[in-house]
Structure 1
Amino acid sequence: MKAIILAGGRGKRLRPITDYVPKPLIPIKNIPIIEWQLKYLKKFGIDEVIICTGYKQEMIESHLNAKKIGIKIKYSIENTPLGTGGAIKKAGKLIKDKSFFVINGDTITNIDLRKLSTQLNSIASVELRTNFGVLETKDDKIIKFKEKKEISNLWMNAGIYHLQKNILLDLPAKGDIEKTVFPDYAKKGKLHIVKFKDVKWYSVDSFKDMEECALEVDKIIK
């Protein structure tokens, strides 16, 4: 199987770090995010990865070229931002397989790709989690306080997809897959969900995310 990593964004929420290095090279426990991702993909038998790069792409290539990752890496370079849909459309031309995985460049997780691969044109999903403490009440009293509770039966996009090659024909040359093809496929009953309960999942989009992920990453990706 092949996989596409969407790693072309500027990571503005992590400035000023991303003024100097691209987001995929931000270290979590002294290892860049993209290395954690490659290790994760390799674990599930991915033998080739296409990395969609744009912002400071030469730094990403230089870093990975100096490493012995043990997985074949190709690059799909965006001279101007194409959005997730445009990036997948361009990178997908390098893939000959009938299907492939896509992962957002800031996602660190232990979601089982073997389970995701059982459904074509599918989105991996995890239960929605609050970012704030949840209060359980009775009358006018608080009886329990919970931090970041998972909300049952509300599912969120985990940023990992298993897509058929022919989806490339429907993708825009520029634009996000989440705003174009996915809503259209959902209306037509062509989009599937694969639900994952009790998994570790982080979208590294803030300094707090970095701190929390660093506490767990060794357990997430072994």
Structure 2
Amino acid sequence: MKVILLSGGFGKRLKPLTDYLPKPLIPVCNYPIIEWQIKYFKKFGIKDVIVCAGYRADQVIKHLEGKNLGVRLEYSIETEPLGTAGAIKKASKYIDAENFFVANGDVLTNLDLNKLQVHPNSVAVIPLRTSFGIVHLDGSKVERFEEKPEMFDYWMNAGIYYLKKDILKHLPKNGNLEDTTFPGLARNGKLHAVKYGKVFWKSIDSYKDMEECESLINGNGYEKFISSK
């Protein structure tokens, strides 16, 4: 089983840090994002990692090759932005198994990958998380405040997929999965969603995200989770 890490983005919202450092190498609680991800997949027995690198790819490769992470690494280098679907298509020469995982390169989570393997072509989804507090009303009276609740009536893409190799022939050379391949699969009833409630999950796209992620890691014992056998 292999995983493709989509780690080729510019990280524009993390400037000026990303003027000198590619987003996958940005440290969160003293470890680069990509190391957290590799350790996470390794916990579930996945030791073949395909890194889709673009911006400052040489730095990403040099860093990983200088580490002993206990995984086999392959690299798919993008000379121009290809989008998530295009990046997977370019990396498809490394896919030799019937199924494989894909993860957005800025997501840290503890969701159970075993649940995702029930159906091929599955998307991990989590309750929509608001950035604001909610005020509960009784008419014009305030009943209570609820800070940043999870909205279980709405589900958001967690950025982790379990895909069947057959999907590769449906990928464009440039574009995003969510805009190109996934809508067609959904129309044909061939795309599944696996719901995860109350899990640790954070997408790192800003300095605020970095701070919140570090707080979540410390508060949820995430380092202990990925280090345990």
TM bracket (short chain) = over 0.9
C-alpha distance in 1, partners of 2:26/2:175?
26
Partner deviation per Cα, 1:75-126 (whole Å, 9 max, x = no partner)? 0000111110010111122010000000000000001111101110010000
Partner deviation per Cα, 1:119-174 (whole Å, 9 max, x = no partner)? 10010000001110111111222221111100122111000000001100000011
- Give the number of aligned pairs: 222
Match of 2:205 in 1: 205
C-alpha distance in 2, partners of 1:35/1:28?
10
Match of 1:85 in 2: 85
Match of 1:183 in 2: 183
Match of 1:118 in 2: 118
Match of 2:146 in 1: 146
C-alpha distance in 1, partners of 2:27/2:48?
23
Match of 1:33 in 2: 33
- The alpha-carbon deviation at position 26 of structure 1 amounts to 0.5
Match of 2:9 in 1: 9
Match of 2:65 in 1: 65
CA RMSD of aligned residues (A): 0.9
C-alpha distance in 2, partners of 1:128/1:188?
25
| Structure 2: stretches of 5+ with no match in the other structure | none
Give 4+ residue runs of structure 1 displaced > 3 Å after superposition: none
Match of 1:220 in 2: 222
The answer to whether residue 104 in structure 2 is matched with residue 104 in structure 1 is yes
**TM-score scaled by structure 2?**
0.95
- The alpha-carbon deviation at position 182 of structure 1 amounts to 0.2
| Structure 1: stretches of 5+ with no match in the other structure | none
- The alpha-carbon deviation at position 206 of structure 1 amounts to 1.0
Partner deviation per Cα, 1:38-90 (whole Å, 9 max, x = no partner)? 00000001020000000000000111111110011110000111110010111
C-alpha distance in 2, partners of 1:93/1:118?
25
AA at the equivalent of 1:162: Y
Does 132-141 or 21-30 show the bigger shift? 132-141
Partner deviation per Cα, 1:155-208 (whole Å, 9 max, x = no partner)? 110000000011000000111111000011101111000000111110001111
- The alpha-carbon deviation at position 216 of structure 1 amounts to 2.1
C-alpha distance in 1, partners of 2:78/2:21?
17
- The alpha-carbon deviation at position 217 of structure 1 amounts to 2.0
AA at the equivalent of 2:94: L
SS at match of 1:217: helix
